[in-house]
Amino acid sequence: MSTTATPPTVPGNAVLIRRLFGLAWRYRLHCLQVLGIQLVLLTLGIGGLSFTGLGIDYIRHRIEKTPLAANHGQLALPEDWPPLQVLAMLAGLILVFALVRALLNYVYAVSVNRLVQQKLVVDLRGEVYDKLQQLSFRFFDANTTGSIITRVTGDVQSVRMFVDQVLIQSVIMVISLTAYIIYMASLSPTLTVACLATTPLLWLMAAWFSSRIQPEYARNRALVERLVQILAEGVQGIAVTKGFGREPEAQAKFDVANRECLEQQHGIFWRVSLFSPAVGFLTRINMMVLLGYGGWLVAHDRLPLGAGLVVFAGLLEQFSGQVNNVATIVNSVQQSLIGARRVFEILDAPVEVRSAPDAVRRPRLDGAVRFERVSFAYDGADTVVRDLDLDVRPGQCIAILGATGAGKSVLMSLIPRFFDPTAGRVLLDGIDVRRLHLDDVRRNIGLVFQESFLFSNTIAANIAFGHPDATRAQVERAARIAAAHDFITALPQGYDTVLGESGNSLSGGQRQRLAIARAVLLEPAILLLDDPTAAIDSETEHEIFEALDRAIAGRTTFIVAHRLSTLRRADVILVMEEGRIVQRGTHDELMRVPGPYLRVANLQLVDVRDLHLLGLAGGEGGA
C-alpha cells in the first residue's frame, strides 16, 4: 500500500470552530428569524404564567381579602368589575396567549426544520458528494466504503448540529435564562438567589457526567459493532466454520463479545442511574427552598401567593429544563467537532487532477498515444513507473503483462489522467493530456475494469451510463458489439431488467460484456481494458473474446492480461517489471527469445503432448 497522499494535517479545535461559525454565517438571516420567534415565545410564556398567578391572587383577594399584587402592580385589575368578568378576562388572555404561542411554536419548529433539513443538510451533503466525485482513487482505496458513506450521512448531521443544536440553542438558553432571572428577581431578588444557588452545581455535574459517560457510550458502540461484525462474518463464512466443524468455537467467540457488551453496559447503567436521581434531587432542593423561604415570604406578605410563589414554581421548572440543556449542548459541541473534522477533510482535500483554464477542446481524438520519459510515484512512495517511452499509433492494440505492482494499472491510469505523471509527459494526438480538456480526454476513452462495477439499475441505464441521453437503438448497437444483445433479450425484462445489488444475477462473463458495451457506446478512440477476464471462469472466458475482438477493432487499445489467449491478440506486448518495460514485441517475437515472457508462456502453455493428443500440434509450443 502506498502511503496516503496528503500529510494528515489535523486542524485544531479553534480552527474548526471558526469554520463552523463561518458555516452558520451563511445562514444568518434564517438563524435570526428563528431566534426572533423564540424571543416572542419566551415573552408570551412568562406572560401566560403571570396571568395564572394573578388569577389565583385575585380569587384569594376576593375571598380572603389578601392584598393584591403586593409588589407587582404593572397590571392593575379593575376593582369595580364583577369578579367573574375579571376571571373571564384573565382566562381569555391566557387562552389568547396560548393560541399565539401554539401558532408560533409551529412556525418555529417548521422554520428550524426548513433551515436544517432543507438547506443545511442538503447543501452540505451535496457539496461533500460533489467533492467526493472529484477525488482521486487513492482516497477511495484508503477509506472503507462505510466510512465514506458516514461522512455524507452521519458526519454531515453532526456538522449541522453545530448550527441548530449548539449555536441557536445556546443563544436561546442565554436569553431565556436571563429573562427568567430578571423576572424572578423582580418578584423577589433574595428568593431568586436562594433558589438558584444549586444551579452552578447542576451545571458542573452535568458537564462532568457527560465527559465521563461519552467515552463509555463510544466504547459501547464499538463493542456492539464488533458483535455485529462477528455475526456478519459468521454468516458469510458459515461454510468455513461448518466445513471445519468449528461451530462451538464460533459460538464461543460470539458469546464472549455478547457478554462483553452486557458487562460494559452494566457500568453505564450504574452511572446513569446515579446521575439522573442526583439531578432530580437537586431540582427538588430548589423546590424545598422555594417552599420554605418562599412560604415564609408569603406568610409575611412580602410575596403574593399566585403571582409570586406559584409563578416562581412554574418559572423554576422552565429554568431547570433550560439548565439541563447545557449537557446536551456540550455533547453536541464535541460531536459536531468530530463530524466537522471528517467533513472538512473531504471538502479541503485537493483535487489533484483538473482541466487547465485555457484547456484545448478536442471532442474527437484519433487515438495516437505517446509516453515521453514518463515516471510516476505516489507522493513520498517508491516510483511505480520509471522513465517510460512508448509510441502507439491509432488503432494499435497493446497488451501489458507483469506481476502485481509492476506498474501496469498505473501506466493505464495516466492516459485518462486518473493520475498525472511526476516526470515526463503523456500525449494524445500529439497534445499533452494536461493541456487537453479533462472531459474530452475521458469521453474519448472507454474503460473496462477487472471486476466491472454495474449499478443497481436497468441494463439499458448501465450501458448508457456514459451517455444518459443515448437512444435505445444506440444502446442495442453497443450491446451487439459486445456480444451481449442475445443474452439480454433472453432475460424476461430484456433491457429493462433491473440488476440486483452488484448485479449478482448475471455471470461474470455477462457482466463484463455489459461493461464492454458501456465502454463502446461512447465510440471511444481509445479503449483501456484492465485484466477484463480476471474474474471470469476459464471455462466461460471464451464468451467475452468475441466481444473483445469486436470492441478492439479500429480503436487504440491497452489491455492488461495474464493469459496467453488474451496476450496473443495484441499487436505489441509490453512486459513490465518494477515500473519498467523489460520486453516489447509481438507474441511470436517474444516467444523466440529467452526472457520473462517465455517463462510465463511456458507455465501456461499446454504440454506439447497434450496438443498431440488433441491432434492440434503445430508450430505452437515454442519451447
Partner 1 sequence: MSQPEKIRDLGLVRRSRDDDEDEEQFKPLEWGLIRRLFTYTAPVKGKVATLAVLTLIRSMQLPALAWVMSLIIKGPITARDFAGIGLGVAGYGLLAISTDLLFHFRQRYALEIGETVVHGLRAEIFAKTLRQPMGFFNRVKIGRIIGRVTSDVESVRVGIQDVLFVSVIQFGSMIFAAAVMLWSDWVLFLVVLALAPILWLINRHFRGKLSRYSRASSESFSRVTATLAESVNGIRVTQGFVRQETNAGLFRSLLADHARYNIALARTSAILTPLLELNSQFFVALLLLFGGWRVFHGDMATGSLITFFLLANQFFAPIAIIGNQYNQALMAMAGAERVFRLIDVVPDWTDDPAATDLPDPRIYHGAAATPPRNDHAGGVARAPVPENAGMRVEFRRVTFGYDPARPVLHDVSFVAEPGQTIALVGHTGSGKSSIINLVSKFYLPTQGEVLVDDREIRTVAGRSLHRQMGMVQQQNVLFSGTVLENIRLSRPEATDADVRAAAAALDCLDLLEALPAGLQTEVGEKGGGLSVGQRQLICFTRAMLANPRLVILDEATSSIDALTEARLQAALRRLLAGRTSLVVAHRLSTIRHADLVLVLDQGRIIERGTHATLLAARGQYAALYRQFVQVDDRA
Residues 87-106 that bind partner 1 (CB under 8 A): 87-88, 90-92, 94-95, 97-99, 101-103, 105-106
- State which residue, 9 or 236, has the beta carbon closest to partner 1: 236
Q: Which of residues 586-605 bind partner 1 (CB under 8 A)?
A: 599-600, 603-604
Q: Minimum CB separation from partner 1 for residue 581, in Å?
A: 16
Residue among 249 and 389 whose Cβ is closer to partner 1: 249
Q: For residue 464, what is its C-alpha cell?
A: 448508457
Minimum CB separation of residue 373 from partner 1 in Å reads 26
Residue nearer to partner 1 on the CB measure, 214 or 586:
586
302 near partner 1, judged by CB under 8 A: no
| Per-residue contact flags (x/-) with partner 1 for residues 535 to 554, judged by CB under 8 A | xxxxxxxx--x---------
Rounded Cα gap, residues 569 and 553, in angstroms: 11
Q: Is 359 in the site for partner 1 (CB under 8 A)?
A: no
Residue among 298 and 330 whose Cβ is closer to partner 1: 298
Q: Which of 334, 507, 583, 586 binds partner 1 (CB under 8 A)?
A: 507
Residue 498 lies near partner 1 (rule: CB under 8 A): yes
Among 174, 197, 218, 291, which residue sits at the site for partner 1 (rule: CB under 8 A)? 291
Distance of CA 174 to the CA centre of its chain: 33
**Is the Cβ of residue 76 or residue 603 nearer to partner 1 in the bound state?**
603
Q: Is 272 in the site for partner 1 (CB under 8 A)?
A: yes
Q: Which is nearer to partner 1, 480 or 562 (CB)?
A: 562
Contact 315, 46 (CB under 8 A): yes
350: which residues sit within 8 A by CB, 6+ positions away?
6
Subset of residues 214 to 253 that bind partner 1, contact rule: CB under 8 A = 224, 227-229, 231-247, 249-251
Cβ closer to partner 1: 8 or 146?
146
Nearer to partner 1, 17 or 142 (CB): 142
Give bridge partners of residue 484 from the DSSP assignment. Answer: none
> C-alpha 322: how far from its chain's center?
32
Interface with partner 1, residue 579, by CB under 8 A: no
Residues 68, 305, 529, 591: which binds partner 1 (CB under 8 A)? 305
Element (H, E) at 603: helix 596-604
Q: Find the shortest distance in angstroms from Cβ 74 to partner 1.
A: 19
Indicate the pairing of strand 369-377 with strand 383-392. Answer: antiparallel
569: cell is 491478440
Considering only residues 31, 69, 460, 522, which one is a binding residue for partner 1 as defined by CB under 8 A?
522
Give the residue from 526, 533, 556 showing the smallest Cα distance to 416: 526
Pairing of strands 572-577, 556-560: unpaired
Q: Applying CB under 8 A, which of residues 18, 62, 354, 393 lies at the interface with partner 1? A: 62
Strand pairing class (526-530; 556-560): parallel
| Residue 165 contacts residue 20 (beta carbons within 8 Å) | no
Spatial contact of 533 and 561, defined as CB atoms under 8 Å apart: yes
Tell me the DSSP string of 63-125.
HH-PPSSTT-TTSPPPTTS-HHHHHHHHHHHHHHHHHHHHHHHHHHHHHHHIIIIIIIHHHHH
- Determine the Cα–Cα distance for residues 41 and 8; give it in Å rounded to an integer: 46
* Cα 194 to the center of its chain, rounded Å: 49
Region of 29-37, 195-203, 391-399, 500-508 interacting with partner 1 (CB under 8 A): 500-508
Q: Residue 197 half-sphere exposure, CB side, CA atoms within 13 Å? A: 13
Decide: is 623 part of the binding site for partner 1 (CB under 8 A). no
Q: What span, in angstroms and rounded, lies between the C-alpha atoms of 229 and 503?
A: 24
Query: Looking at beta carbons only, is 183 or 418 nearer to partner 1?
Result: 418
